[in-house]
Amino acid sequence: MVLRDLTPALHEFVLCTALLEEFDAALCNAVLGRQDAARLIGLIAGQALFLQECAGRPGWYRYHALFQDFLQNRLRVESPERILALHCAAAEHLVQRGETEGALLHGERGTPECFERTLGHCCRQWLTRGDYGPIIRWLGALPEDKLAANSDLFMPFVSALIFSRRFNQARYYLDVVQAATTPAEGRLADDSAPVFLEVMLQLFQHDTDFRLRDDHAVLLGSCRHHDIRAFSLAMLAYHHMLHADFV
């Protein structure tokens, strides 16, 4: 009866947004490709359609759990082909806002490509913040071949292991990456990523006994990858300082 009395626009809106555990107007606009989500949310609230405000999050809403389950079932019946795309759109929007847990929730329910892409974005955010626990938890559950084939995943994973002083695990996964000889989509075009991680492991594990091989120094010095360029130069500088080479 509730759905029957809705306009087509509201009908589509409530069905599609039922996939979202919590939502605001910006998220709804991104997921549905609309610009009037705030107005539609106001209409829904005015009709008392089982919409509840989220405590402590002004402007965020959720549906009553029973109503949400009903709407999700109707969406599976009426438009099952839209579900994956809606989850992927939600993941992409949330990760841009730094809502990593929500982004991964939807990424897992979207396509495999969407999930890997979302996971890579989240790991970069966590690594920047020094939040290594989620990186190790999420990426440690993936098959080794997936990690070895995607630099957006294995670089933050091995880095998080090193920064957490889990050197034996970092060594193991570095060996896995270096043993993967078949080029795969997502791998860097050169060998700078494994070399960078190898040198970083040696630096953190051995500290004042750190020694840099000449070929490693050349690769790090010529590295152009934006994520590792600055850190590479810092490691080179530390190497020269230990050798009292200030020229």
State how far the Cα of 188 lies from the Cα of 125, in Å rounded to an integer. 20
- C-alpha 191/C-alpha 68 separation (Å) is 49
- DSSP string spanning 69-101? HHHHHHHHHH-GGGHHHHHHHHHHHHHHTT-HH
Q: What is the pLDDT of residue 185?
A: 43
Instruction: Decide: 196 and 231 in contact? Cβ < 8 Å.
Output: yes
Tokens 């809403």 belong to 61
| Cα angle: 113, vertex 103, 177; to 5 degrees | 45
| pLDDT for 218 | 55
pLDDT at 162: 92
pLDDT value, residue 161: 95
Length of the chain, please? 247
pLDDT tens digit at each of 247 positions of the chain? 777 778 889 999 999 999 999 999 999 999 999 999 999 999 888 877 788 999 999 999 999 999 999 999 999 999 999 999 999 999 999 999 999 999 999 999 999 999 999 999 999 999 989 999 999 999 999 998 888 888 889 989 999 999 999 999 999 998 888 787 554 444 444 456 777 788 888 877 776 666 666 555 555 555 555 566 556 666 666 666 666 665 5
Beta-ladder partners of 61? 23, 53
Give the single-character DSSP code of 204: H
Q: What is the per-residue pLDDT for 233?
A: 61
Cβ(51)–Cβ(44) under 8 Å?
A: yes
Model pLDDT, residue 69: 95
Which three-class secondary structure state does DSSP give residue 239? Answer: helix
User: How many whole angstroms separate alpha carbon 86 and alpha carbon 33?
Assistant: 10
- Other Cβ atoms less than 10 A from the Cβ of 195: the count is 21
- pLDDT of 242: 63
Q: pTM of this prediction?
A: 0.79
The H or E element that residue 63 is part of is: strand 61-63
Q: What is the DSSP letter of 111?
A: -
Instruction: Decide: helix, strand or coil at residue 52.
Output: strand
